[in-house]
Amino acid sequence: MGGAGNPSSCSPIPDLGQHRGSKYFTSRKKPRKPPPIKVPKLSIEELKPKTDKFDSKALVGEGSDGKEYSTVLNNGKKVAVRKLDVLSEDERNELLTQVSRVSNLKHENFVEMLGYCVEENMLLLAYEDATLGSLHDILHGENSAESGLLLDWTQRLRIALDAAKGLQYLHKEVQPPIIHCDIKSSNVLLFEGFKAKIANYNLLNQSSDVVTRLRSVRASGTPVYHAPECIHKATPKLRKDEFRKCVDPKLEGTYSIRGAAKLAALAALCVQHDVEFRPYMNNVVKILSSILEGHSRPPPDAPPPQPPDA
């Protein structure tokens, strides 16, 4: 599911025609003013004390494009605050252009931006905070076993479908399309009812070459999930009919073997090296929907449901 589908996530960085390394470069264009941002502007006075001045004690995560803190705004709303460092006006305006774009994104399977703050060399972005944490927290987190929380097969299928719908929105409904570039379980956040939303859309991977320096530095700090054609050719790990090794043993066999086989086949298509063989996200959504529907439907020989007691 992760890096599925066209368009490719390795679009070339546009040439802005500013040859800064040339001795003939004597002037520079005035930085373009970013478009309006359609979320409230937050004050640094509100955010600084609530994050212990962005101290490591308040740090809850670190991604490819910045550090993340958890706090509560003055209005009582719990948010995740992502902090990005910028060194120049060019970088700030480029990132704010992307922030303006993100502020327009509204979808039930995409984490919504709730506010922003620009302060000297910092850009702070506030997002809705996941009530149940990330998918990675529940599947692999240190406290997952102690919490006793176990996602059953149906819940996992629904989470996969929600995530696919979020990517479908970015790829097909947003124009120009947005390529997330960092889909992984820690970037799939869970809310009440195990509703899944895509998070941590990487601003740096959408912008032009004025933030190439930031991208290269930060990408080295965390694994970034690129499309297969952007990295070295992978070696297959599983032979035919060995997909069961990928199923969480904590499920103890309580899953559909047919559904798991279909899911494994879909995953294999999504990581094909040749982009032409990878499915579009709308097809991924359709396949996942059919797998979930097939799992929910009772087998042909199942007895009819008993009527409720009077």
Q: Which domains does the chain have, with CATH numbers?
A: 31-129 (3.30.200.20), 147-174+227-297 (no CATH)
User: Which is the catalytic residue, given 15, 162, 182, 209?
Assistant: 182
Contact present, 211 and 91 (Cβ < 8 Å): yes
Over residues 153-160, the mean pLDDT reads 96
pLDDT at 28: 52
Tens digits of residue pLDDT in 228-242: 655 554 455 555 556
Of 17 and 164, more confident: 164
Q: Which pLDDT band, with edges at 50, 70 and 90, does 155 fall under?
A: very high
Tokens of 284: 């991924």
pLDDT at 245: 74
pLDDT at 166: 97
Q: Which pLDDT band, with edges at 50, 70 and 90, does 119 fall under?
A: confident
Q: Is the dihedral of CA 161, 163, 166, 171 positive or negative?
A: negative
Give residues with Cβ within 8 angstroms of 249, minimum separation 6: none
Over residues 238-247, the mean pLDDT reads 66
- Cα–Cα distance measured from residue 285 to residue 4, given in angstroms and rounded to the nearest whole number: 11
Q: Which pLDDT band, with edges at 50, 70 and 90, does 147 fall under?
A: low
Tens digits of residue pLDDT in 160-216: 999 999 999 999 999 988 888 888 998 999 999 999 999 987 665 665 543 344 344
Of 164 and 308, more confident: 164
Q: In what order do the strands lie in the sheet with 59-63?
A: 59-63, 66-72, 78-85, 122-128, 113-119
Q: Mean pLDDT, the chain, as a whole number?
A: 78
Tens digits of residue pLDDT in 130-140: 989 899 989 98
Over residues 269-273, the mean pLDDT reads 90
Contact present, 123 and 82 (Cβ < 8 Å): no
Residue 58: pLDDT above 90?
no
Q: pTM for this structure?
A: 0.76
Residue 110: pLDDT above 80?
yes
Residue 126's DSSP bridge partners are 81, 115
Contact present, 198 and 105 (Cβ < 8 Å): no
Q: Is the dihedral of CA 284, 232, 135, 296 positive or negative?
A: positive
Over residues 112-128, the mean pLDDT reads 91
What count of other Cβ atoms lies within 10 Å of the Cβ of residue 218?
20
Has 182 been annotated as catalytic?
A: yes
- Cα–Cα distance measured from residue 131 to residue 128, given in angstroms and rounded to the nearest whole number: 9
pLDDT at 293: 92
Q: Is 307 helix (H, G, I), strand (E, B) or coil?
A: coil
Q: Rounded to 10 degrees, what is the CA torsion of 5, 173, 210, 85?
A: -100
Q: Which pLDDT band, with edges at 50, 70 and 90, does 18 fall under?
A: very low
Place of tokens 């799992």: 295
Start-to-end C-alpha separation, the chain: 46
